[in-house]
Chain A
Amino acid sequence: MKYFKLIIAAVFLSTMFTGCSYVSDMAEGAITDRASFSATAVYSGGNVTLTWDKTDTSDNFTGIEVYRTSDANDEYATYELVASRLYNDSGLSSGFTQTYTDTLLTTYTDSTPASDGIYFYRVAFIHWDKDADERTYSTTDGNYPFYTDIDSISGYAKVVIP
């Protein structure tokens, strides 16, 4: 009961200092996967290099996915997967169905970007929604496609491709 009271006091104090409107907005943002961090994209020499400053060390962290808009010059076009990487306890494993680089945890280079137009990229941190003993890692998909969700996703990174 003592710890219960402490938890309530901590929740109350943190809400008091941050404001209820901000806490309730953060809760809504978690439900709707609100864009929560920034990424940048730079075009040079036929490649697009993406960087971001978010990291994730939680137990449920599965990997990172990178998306690009399917159509040129449309901020609101559907984003399509261009890269992803599984992450497991033994470190980064190559595999899944895309081409990876070992530095995907902090940066990604798209060597085959679309051409002619403005494109938008986003970076997502993926989490397992399965318990650890039910997760399978393999050089192919394993159960990754069925039991993972976007935990957090960046705002768009805009790039002009000549």
Chain B
Amino acid sequence: MKKILFLSAVLAQLFFIAPLFSAVYEASTLHNSVSRSETVQDLYVKRWKILQEENFYFDIYGKINWVFGFNVNTVNAGYLQTEPTDLQLTRTYGSMTLAMPIGGHRATPEENDFIIAFTTTGFHYGLTKKINIDRGTAGSESVTDYKHSQFFDDIYAFSILYRPYLTLHAGLIFNNEYAPEDNGTMDYFDPVKSYSKKFFAVEVYGCTAFSMNIDNGKPESMKAEIEITKITGIFKDVSNPYIPLATLGYERTMAYNDEAYDSVWVNKVKNPLDEIKEEANLNILSLKLIQRISKNFTLEGFYAAQYITEDIYTKTDEKKINPSITKEWYMLINIDPIPATPEDVKFKVYTGISWYWDPAIAIHRNSPSKGNGAYGWILGMNIDFKNFGLDFMTEYNYSTELKKLIETSDKFAVEGSMFFRI
């Protein structure tokens, strides 16, 4: 009974954390270009993990995510002064793929085929302000204005698939930053910063995957994964659906670079005007386990340990940070009440809890004294009709979302996505 009460208290704590007030910060902290490239690349790879199992010619996928409660210092053009203003973070993601099978699609996953494909993937994020419009007898509506810098990151990539043996992706990542007009509109044709990076990914026999992005000839981030169960399957029968699927991962990112947007200094406290910039790489080793526990339930567990190559110091109180060994963990339960028949309809409800560590969490959360580790939760559902599908999700501090943008710490988010495929 005590255990149940304790568990209930922990869950209540996770689900009902209501921000009493929000941290106020400068919009410039939303500029982490390294994580932006990594995010768009991760979204690309995640989409292709689904697509490479499908026989298709055309796939379009879109996602809209709103995060509420960004209290950011913003100029009010009426008062002519800067004041904390309640803004909303808007993130949109789109992906479009055209695939051409040479000699037709394979009939079963055991057969092989050859496909070439071209994909454009894009991720936009930026702050917006919602303003009420009173239309008199016609009721009320609202308008949203762009506020502060807006970021548009796109991947243009070619893919070659020799299924089931080899998948290759290569392309360019374009990062564009725009400064909106004071009146809330924005000119898409006039970026204030624009640069490009190269992107490369390979997957062998669905067992190992490697991806990398390169900026000015230098690897900015790289990621490798080994699917242990699938490799075992080469030598032994692992077709039993109750055998856990284990994936071992490693990634290395140039996460801390003494840039203005970084939350930490590398190796020592520096003056913001110093020209000397040092780098610290973030190394992450992870293990993911997926275990079917019954016909309609699947458990997913993930653990990641981290090692930062140099000492890091906070910019706020200039103290050395002792990073947690644990970078991230999450546990997710998937409930798929519709059995695999008919196979063309898949319905899933999922919920989970997580913990994530990052040196910037304390800066962006409601109460910095809570530290750099954040518990979170997620609740969502998706339905997949094979050619068309929808997904709805809400989360608070969920680790995979914090990883995309750490500034979303201690903020609620809702997200909707859909795809169409033929």
Residues on A lying within 8 angstroms of B by beta carbon are 8, 11-12, 15-16, 19-25, 27-29, 31-38, 65, 67, 69-70, 72-81, 84, 97, 117-118, 120, 122, 124, 141, 144-146, 148-150, 153-158
Q: How many pairs, one residue from A and one from B, have CB atoms within 8 Å of each other in the complex?
A: 170
Does residue B4 face the partner (Cβ distance < 8 Å to A)?
A: no
B117-133, CB < 8 A from A? 118, 120-124, 128-133
* A158 x B77 contact (CB < 8 A): yes
* Other A-B pairs beyond A34-B143, A70-B134, 11, CB < 8 Å: A16-B156, A28-B90, A33-B143, A34-B146, A35-B183, A67-B134, A76-B85, A81-B134, A145-B138, A158-B77, A158-B183
* B123 x A76 contact (CB < 8 A): no
Contacts of B422 in A (CB 8 A): 8
Q: How far is the CB of B57 from chain A (nearest CB, A)?
A: 8
* B79 x A73 contact (CB < 8 A): yes
* B136 x A97 contact (CB < 8 A): yes
Given contacts A12-B98, A79-B132, contact A24 B138 (CB under 8 A): no
Complexed CA–CA distance, A25 and B63 (Å): 10
Given contacts A19-B174, A25-B92, contact A32 B79 (CB under 8 A): no
Closest chain B residue to A34 by CB distance?
B144
The one of A11, A22, A77, A150 in contact with B78, judged by C-beta atoms closer than 8 angstroms, is A77
Complexed CA–CA distance, A124 and B94 (Å): 28
B383-422, CB < 8 A from A? 422
* A74 x B79 contact (CB < 8 A): yes
The one of A15, A37, A157 in contact with B96, judged by C-beta atoms closer than 8 angstroms, is A15
* B183 x A65 contact (CB < 8 A): no
Nearest 6 CB-CB pairings of A with B: A21-B122, A20-B122, A155-B183, A24-B94, A20-B94, A24-B92
* A32 x B130 contact (CB < 8 A): yes
Closest chain A residue to B155 by CB distance?
A20
* A25 x B124 contact (CB < 8 A): yes
